[in-house]
């Protein structure tokens, strides 16, 4: 399931970045985004600072009272996990964390270049980074399967392919629950989920390609979701 979304997000490269959309900074094969509180990239950075090489690459950040914190040049500290409501809809975002990684979304800036360079070099030279990316992505998916997707769609007994497509839809944020429910109720749920948002032609092509490959390799399409154990079993 991670391989499916990873392929669509980054072709499963560990050193891929996106610094132009509203999240300001996304990183890695699963494209973990910086804007979401208690989710995605902040979870990665919490564990990143525990790695042996963390102080060499990011000496100014550390965990303080359970929060990722920046030690400023004057000795003061900034809680990078402060949740701030922004925009006309009052969206809750980690604005200080986003700004630490990339202060200006629409223009390339020195801070953005520095953070990307640090992570690229570290990713290219330390296998711990790839392992951590996979661990965090797996934990996120495992949690969301039970706490969100199953509760929303009653997925007990559904195929792993359908679950993977649902997870991919919500990971990218390309359709709301109502449309997903309609797709699941259609005559061909797999096809409906793949084409749930026709404007994403590139995503649709990637989903078709990777799902066909994973089915042929017997990595998907052979198990069903067991909600009691939050795992996939042979049906």
What SS3 string covers 183-202?
Answer: HHCCCCHHHHHHCCCCCCHH
Same domain as 176, residue 94: no
Count of domains in the chain?
A: 2
Same domain as 162, residue 114: no
- Residue 159 corresponds to which tokens in the numbers above? 């195929």
Same domain as 115, residue 30: yes
Domain range enclosing 88: 13-129
Same domain as 112, residue 220: no
Same domain as 65, residue 160: no
Termini Cα distance of the chain: 17
Asked whether residue 36 is domain-assigned, the answer is: yes
DSSP letters, 75-118, are S-EEETT--EEETTTTEEE-HHHHHHH-S-SSS--HHHHHHHHH
Digit-by-digit pLDDT tens for the chain (235 residues) are 999 999 999 999 999 999 999 999 999 999 999 999 999 999 999 999 999 999 999 999 999 999 999 999 998 999 999 999 986 678 899 999 999 999 999 999 999 999 999 999 999 999 999 999 999 999 999 999 999 999 999 999 999 999 999 999 999 999 999 999 999 999 999 999 999 999 999 999 999 999 999 999 999 999 999 999 999 999 8
Q: What b-and-e string marks burial along 139-166, b requiring 16 or more CB atoms within 10 Å of the CB?
A: ebbeebbeeebbeebebeebbbbbbbbb
Tell me the whole-structure pTM to 2 decimals.
0.95
Task: Say if residues 24 and 94 touch (Cβ distance below 8 Å).
Answer: no
pLDDT of residue 96: 97
Q: How far apart are CA 222 and CA 235, in angstroms?
A: 8
Same domain as 185, residue 111: no
Asked whether residue 1 is domain-assigned, the answer is: no
Q: What b-and-e string marks burial along 54-67, b requiring 16 or more CB atoms within 10 Å of the CB?
A: beebbeebbeeeee
pLDDT of residue 88: 67
Same domain as 111, residue 18: yes
Q: How far apart are CA 26 and CA 20, in angstroms?
A: 9
Q: Which residues pair with 226 in a beta bridge?
A: 231
pLDDT of residue 89: 78
DSSP-derived letter for residue 148 is I
Same domain as 106, residue 48: yes
Same domain as 167, residue 109: no
Half-sphere exposure of 72 (CA within 13 A, CB side): 8
Count of Cβ atoms closer than 10 Å to residue 200 Cβ: 17
pLDDT of residue 4: 98
Q: At what angle do helices 127-144 and 41-48 cross, to 10 degrees?
A: 140
């Amino acid at each position: 399931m991670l391989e499916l979304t990873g392929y669509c997000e980054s072709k499963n490269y560990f050193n891929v970045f996106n610094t132009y959309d509203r999240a300001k900074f996304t990183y890695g094969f699963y494209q973990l985004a910086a804007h979401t509180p208690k989710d995605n990239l902040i979870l990665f950075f919490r564990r990143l600072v525990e790695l042996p090489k963390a102080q060499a690459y990011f000496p100014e950040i550390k965990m303080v009272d359970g929060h990722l914190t920046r030690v400023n040049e004057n000795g003061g500290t900034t809680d990078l996990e402060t949740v701030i409501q922004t925009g006309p809809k009052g969206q809750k975002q980690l604005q200080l964390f986003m700004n630490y990684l990339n202060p200006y979304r629409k223009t390339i800036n020195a801070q953005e270049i520095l953070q990307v360079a640090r992570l690229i070099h570290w990713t290219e030279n330390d296998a711990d980074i790839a392992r951590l990316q996979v661990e965090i992505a797996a934990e996120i998916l495992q949690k969301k399967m039970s706490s969100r997707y199953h509760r929303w769609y009653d997925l007990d007994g559904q195929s792993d392919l359908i679950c993977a497509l649902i997870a991919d839809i919500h990971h990218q944020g390309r359709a709301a629950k109502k449309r997903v429910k309609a797709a699941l109720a259609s005559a061909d749920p797999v096809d409906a989920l793949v084409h749930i948002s026709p404007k994403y032609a590139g995503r649709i092509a990637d989903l078709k390609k990777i799902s066909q490959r994973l089915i042929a390799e017997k990595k998907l399409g052979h198990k069903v979701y067991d909600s009691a154990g939050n795992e996939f079993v042979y049906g």
